Amino acid sequence: MSSLPDSWIFTAQCPSKLGTVDVVTRFMAESQHYVNEIHSFDDRVSERFFIRIEFQPGSEGFTQEAFDEQFAARAAEFDMEWSLTAPGHRERVAILVSKYDHCLNDLLFRYRTGQLNIEVPVIISNHPDLQHLADWHGIPYYHLPITADTKPQQEAQILELLDKYEIDLVVLARYMQVLSPDMCETLDGWAINIHHSLLPGFKGARPYHQAWEKGVKMVGATAHYVNNDLDEGPIITQGIQSVDHAHYPEDLVSKGQDVERITLFNAVRYHCDKRVFLSGRRTVVFSN
């Protein structure tokens, strides 16, 4: 399911309170805005309410300014925070990558074919290996080598590029570097990482080979927002694929990379379609 070309996206959250759904849907109806899709969730643990609506405006003269002005008085009663996303809006995404190309390849293919409603103005890497992919797509590629001693300077260069290209979202497409606490704090809420998910967990070098030695029966992947807890930020999407004794280490790697690709794609898609809400250390995701 994809948005209609002329649909606006309304997202909001507020403390849980009787009438939260009604205040939004009544306003939409009275304003003659036609609702194409609606999702809402009331989290009884955090006592927060979340809602996402795709709608078509009731008049050709619709403006975001008029909507905000008219809705503000009703939203104030619920302490509601909201935002509108206009039709055709495309998030500006910076992709960070090292040497593995499977996630980068997939994102660029989906970007080029319109499956991802984004712009990719820059690719940043700590290795030169994937320059050819960026060149083929006509995207600037910055090779920023990094060592333990140069990490602060390299991360400062990355932040300068994010500012230069007016980036909305950072995607770590198998960027094999641990970000510093300061970098994690800066990117909190607007950077997505992907990594393998194996049960039991295997850390360090060659995780799929470690998993094969234990006779693992599933491989998976997790896409999450970056924070200072290594690989433990709020989860957006996860994927899984069954395997068995007939799968050798190279088969596990291949299947794992397939899961990583689709899991990261969905995470980026949901984020850019305004389907993800942060709720403390958790997420509310209105998937489609």
Q: Catalytic residues, which ones?
A: 231
Residue 267 CB burial class (10 angstroms; 0-12, 13-18, ≥19): buried
